[in-house]
Structure 1
Amino acid sequence: MASPISSASEPGASRRWSALAGVYAFGCGAVTALVLSAVLRVFAQVVGLPESFPVPLLAAPALLVGGVVWWALVERRATYTYPAGIGYGALTALLTGVVWTAWFLVVWSVDLLAAGPAPLLVGLVFALTTLAGTLIGPPMIFVRRRYAGG
């Protein structure tokens, strides 16, 4: 088995692990969206997504965001540590939430997002999502460290 340091210098291995991290983040997002589908169907209606197919669409940004964040925090710096994994999960969840908030702003405008208790609710959702995101990083880091050969 190759050491994590030696495989980090291989660009192909870093790209594969980053792509895998994106797929993993998408999978985690899809499972979460499936579990919360009753609540998320309302959000899907509000932002104009098809009601029959909301789960994969809601998780879709995590596919790209997860891969990019993994590359930036873990692969590029060859930091195969659990704190880096926690950062990957938290930042992936947070940035995926930012993507959907931006889409909400495109559809509805800033006025609706700033009205009433909406800022408090958005802040609460971001906080809980980021906290939950910290749970997805350590398993990915474990697998990366275990199978470091790429």
Structure 2
Amino acid sequence: MDVVVPLVSRLSPSQRWSLLAGVYAFGCAALTAVLLSDVLGLFAEVIGLPPTLSMLLLASPALVAGAGIWWALVERRGAYTYPAGAAFGLLTALSTGAVWTVRFVSVWGVEMLTAGPVPLLVGFVLGMTALAGVLVGLPFAYVRRRSGRRSDSAATANSL
């Protein structure tokens, strides 16, 4: 615990916000996975994930993707806007879905994606994931915008 605090304190505010965005995306993905555990449990079993950790494992790509995408779309450009927040949620959700689609293909083969109703099911799931991602990205953008204004006004007051 003592090691984590100095490491985090050495990060720039943009890096901290990016890390926080990844944690937020992971939390939202984990909550969603737990709520949909009946269906996702079957998917996890089909792709060979251990049952005890499957929901957390399904959410795990959102941690890395969320941090990287937030940094690339928002922090690096200084674009603390709602469209950037929505794009963060959308791309994080779709990249997480893409990771597990690739895993499914690696286990079952590409031909399974074209069999019967599977393309429709995959399209529906990715569509719902995209919608959820957009909705998840907006509150985080709101918090970052509010925090950015306080930081900007504090910096302006300090320079006077």
Task: Indicate whether the TM-score tops 0.5.
Answer: yes
Between the two proteins, the alignment pairs up a number of residues equal to: 140
Give the equivalent residue in structure 2 for 1:101.
101
Give the equivalent residue in structure 2 for 1:7.
none
Amino acid at match of 2:76: R
2:104 matched to 1:141? Answer: no
Q: CA RMSD in A?
A: 1.4
Deviation (angstroms), 1:52 = 1.6
Larger Rg: 2
- C-alpha distance in 2 between matches for 1:145 and 1:120: 38
Deviation (angstroms), 1:122 = 0.6
Give the equivalent residue in structure 1 for 2:83.
83
Deviation (angstroms), 1:89 = 0.6
Give the equivalent residue in structure 1 for 2:69.
69
Amino acid at match of 2:106: V
* Greater relative CO (CA pairs within 8 A, separation 6+): 1
Q: Pick the structure with more helix per residue.
A: 2
- C-alpha distance in 1 between matches for 2:135 and 2:101: 22
- Identity of counterpart residues, as a percentage? 59
- C-alpha distance in 2 between matches for 1:138 and 1:120: 28
Structure 1, 106-115 or 60-69: larger mean CA deviation: 106-115
Give the equivalent residue in structure 2 for 1:8.
none
Relative to the length of structure 1, the TM-score reads 0.89
- C-alpha distance in 2 between matches for 1:88 and 1:59: 16
- C-alpha distance in 1 between matches for 2:129 and 2:26: 14
Give the equivalent residue in structure 1 for 2:25.
25
> For structure 2, which runs of at least 5 residues remain unmatched after alignment?
1-10, 152-160
- C-alpha distance in 2 between matches for 1:12 and 1:114: 46
Superposition pairs for residues 94-133 of structure 1, below 5 Å? Answer: 94-133=94-133
- C-alpha distance in 2 between matches for 1:30 and 1:97: 13
- C-alpha distance in 2 between matches for 1:140 and 1:64: 16
What SS does the aligned partner of 1:147 have? helix
- C-alpha distance in 2 between matches for 1:132 and 1:24: 14
Give the equivalent residue in structure 2 for 1:92.
92
- C-alpha distance in 2 between matches for 1:139 and 1:124: 24
TM superposition outliers: structure 1 runs of 4+ over 6 Å: none
Deviation (angstroms), 1:79 = 0.5
Give the equivalent residue in structure 1 for 2:40.
40
Amino acid at match of 1:58: L
> For structure 1, which runs of at least 5 residues remain unmatched after alignment?
1-10
